[in-house]
Amino acid sequence: MSSEEKKIDLEKERIEILNAFRGILRAHKKRTKEDTRIIRKAFDVAVDAHSHMRRKSGEPYIYHPIAVARICIDEMGLGTTAIVCALLHDTVEDTHITLEDIEDLFGAEVRLIIDGLTKIPEVFDQSVSIQAENFRKMILTISDDIRVVLIKLADRLHNMRTLGSMRHDKQLKIASETKFLYAPLAHRLGLYSVKSELEDLAFLYTEPLVYAEIEDKLKSSKDARNRFIRKFTQPIREALLHEGYVFKIKVRTKAISSIWKKMKSKGVPFEEVYDIFAIRIIVDTPPELEKPDSWRIYSLVTDFYQPSPDRLRDWISTPRANGYESLHTTVMSRTGKWVEVQIRSKRMDEIAEKGLAAHYRYKESKKGDNKFDRWVSEIRDLMENPDLDAMDFINEFKLNLFTDEIYIFTPRGDLRVLPTGATILDFAYDIHSDIGDSCIGAKVNNRLVPLSHQLESGNQVEIITASKQKPNEEWLKYVVTARAKQKIKTSLNEERKTIALDGKEILDRKFKQQNIRFNSENISVVEKFYKMPNTTELYFRIAKGKIDLRKLREIENVNGLLKEEKKHIPKSKKANDTFKTITKKDTILIGDDFKNIDYELAKCCSPIPGDSVFGFITINDGIKIHRYNCPNAEHLLSKMAYRCLKATWKNTDLKENLASITVHGIDRIGIVNKITNIVTHEHDINMRSISFETNDGIFVGHMTVLVYDTEHLEILMQKFEQVEGVQRVVRHINE
């Protein structure tokens, strides 16, 4: 390319960047002159800072912060400060600009948000998950400024939209992290459209073939679906117009990843997923008429179509924990298909689409709207525990991202929202930590039940307490909420520390008897001698009489100072040593020796040649090879990507591998014989095990076969599908 052409290209890019910036200003309709000035200033700083940077796709880097700012406006309804922070969100991390510069130019509020969005520096300790630490840092800012998390979700959404230019292993790592943490977080904040798109984009990279198959089926059935919807909605539309309502009827097609989840959980093919789409009726009505109008519209809909009594969900009387309000019903159409109908006001629809930002905009008009504030206080509870490392924090935080909720009443009739599976103890701690700590049981609907009793929606619960009751380790098995777990752990730690003080006094007396100085160096030697993880544990075990202090005489004492015995440490094959010989660029070629490190195929997903796989460095068992669609893959790739390696299959030797297949069908005479005959007549396939179960004319067959690769397995599964009566054949993954 000539210098003249380069100039033209750069000029074209400059014009495109300016147009994109003007798009931000046009989208931000309620801005003042001061807003325009500060957004322009942030844009100029970002353009200058990122001027020499380009993305993996080759385009100027500034397109990314501009796109993040547009998501904040269009899809979250955020204001000027968030737009400024979105434009600047990568400057401190990637350019010469510092947090002090940000504060000087834009003030303390913007600095706080940018700090929350800036990743922590890379550390050299390979046992620390950088992703986990960064996620924790971001989440801890929720209680300071929720916009940190909203901008991060916008950033993640744009990264997912442009993931195609990344390396395949990077795509899988980012997609897994998105599915594991960011999509549930978007759901918890009420950003349903963001959550659905994040899940779908992650699914596109983790299960590309399944994604393409469902996408094709959605496209091919689109015309028939549209005809059905027009016919279904026509009488409803006419009735609403007759009643004088101002309304819109929208159609929401289920996300591809959600369709796949339904297919897997219900064990049905695409054609049998009844809620591929939902009809949404949005009525423009004042706040005081929202509830009566929604129920009136429900009445009109059910005049035409029979509702399913089991599928009525009233999220208007009792909004979900993330502020979502809507009335859901499932009705039977005249062609015999179930259809979900969602009824809501314009305000409710904005909250459902834009989540928290819209929720706060309307907050003044709703009484007792403090569920999100309670969630923030639960995150503060997590922050109170200094012993919680990043991995534990994420595990506890994930518990708070529940989707299914139950509604429990106190004796006075107050309502509490808890996750499905919550117990008496969860409810007690939800009321107050002191009530939780002293809980000995409860009355559910006036019936006495134990601490471990699982609650159901609609239960009325009266907690019974006793002043002498104290939490114990067993309680941790009885609770599912992060709040309850955290409070129990805090109480146990406090009790442990109190007991440890007695142990400290006992050790001090023992030291005096043997003329040993009571200082940190000597205590550290004793810790290592008894193989204790920390000082508190040492003192605790001494107090409990679990440590034989007579053995102290075995440690060399020189003028009151204890000498640590130097022992030869044999070579270990544990993860830390393995890391030293492995770099992120390494690829395991399955079938060849890999740096004298053992690797084996993971039993949880039984990969075979042809499967897309990766290696995971375990603590004690070398490297395990997992399929990318293994039930554990999302967890490993998102939280411990630093221990994951690329892996590929060696093409040479043909070797038999175990694969599990499940066959579903209608029980016909001779069908089992036909299936086993297929395996018998396939010369290069051996059957390891087979079992069939029949129930009310339906059969399920489980078999384990030895095959060479995925192609070999696919041929066998296709032959099973051709047997009359067989409806589905799936490869089974151990959960």
SS (H, E, C) 377-424: HHHHHHHCCCCCCHHHHHHHHHHCCCCCEEEEECCCCCEEEEECCCEH
Q: Domains (ranges, CATH) in the chain?
A: 3-206 (1.10.3210.10), 214-365 (3.30.460.10), 371-473 (3.10.20.30), 491-562 (no CATH), 575-647 (no CATH), 657-731 (3.30.70.260)
Q: How far apart are CA 600 and CA 615, in angstroms?
A: 9
What percent helix, strand, coil does the chain show, rounded to 5?
A: 50, 15, 30
Yes or no: say if 696 and 722 are a contact pair by the CB < 8 Å rule: no
Q: How far apart are CA 327 and CA 249, in angstroms?
A: 14
Yes or no: say if 202 and 208 are a contact pair by the CB < 8 Å rule: no
Under 8 Å CB-to-CB from 338, ≥6 apart: which residues? 274, 275, 308, 311, 330, 331, 332
pLDDT the model gives residue 426: 92
**Helix (H, G, I), strand (E, B), or coil: what is residue 712?**
helix
Does the predicted TM-score (pTM) go above 0.85? Answer: no
A 10 A CB-CB count for 234 gives 11
Strand 415-419 and strand 447-449: the pairing is unpaired
395, with CB counted inside 10 A (0-12, 13-18, 19+), is: middle
Under 8 Å CB-to-CB from 596, ≥6 apart: which residues? none
Residue 568 vs residues 524, 529, 572, 675: alpha-carbon distances, Å: 19, 15, 12, 60
**Tokens read off for 490:** 């805090």
H or E element at residue 274: none
Q: How far apart are CA 628 and CA 296, in angstroms?
A: 49
Q: Give the mean pLDDT per block of 10 residues along the chain (735 residues).
A: 59 87 88 91 91 84 93 88 92 87 90 80 47 66 75 92 87 86 82 90 91 92 91 94 94 90 83 86 94 95 91 87 87 90 93 72 46 61 57 62 74 82 92 90 89 88 89 87 85 85 89 86 86 85 84 82 61 50 68 71 84 83 85 80 81 69 83 80 70 82 82 84 85 67
Q: How far apart are CA 335 and CA 228, in angstroms?
A: 9
A 10 A CB-CB count for 327 gives 24
Return the ∠ at Cα 138 (arms to 137 and 143), rounded to 5°.
100
Q: How far apart are CA 3 and CA 16, in angstroms?
A: 20
Strand 623-627 and strand 613-617: the pairing is antiparallel
Q: How far apart are CA 301 and CA 373, in angstroms?
A: 36
Q: How far apart are CA 236 and CA 45, in angstroms?
A: 53
Alpha helices of 575-632 — where are they, by DSSP H? 575-580
Residue 311 vs residues 331, 342, 583, 584, 720: alpha-carbon distances, Å: 9, 11, 53, 50, 36
| Amino acid (one-letter) located at 12 | K
Closest to 42 (Cα-Cα) out of 99, 103, 105: 105
CA atoms within 13 Å, Cβ hemisphere of 184: 15
pLDDT the model gives residue 435: 92
**Cα 602 from chain centroid (whole Å):** 23
Active site (catalytic) residues: 93-94
Task: Give backbone dihedrals phi and psi of 651, rounded to 5 degrees, phi first.
Answer: -85, -5
566, with CB counted inside 10 A (0-12, 13-18, 19+), is: exposed
Q: How far apart are CA 210 and CA 260, in angstroms?
A: 8
Helices 147-161 and 192-206 meet at what angle, rounded to 10?
Answer: 40
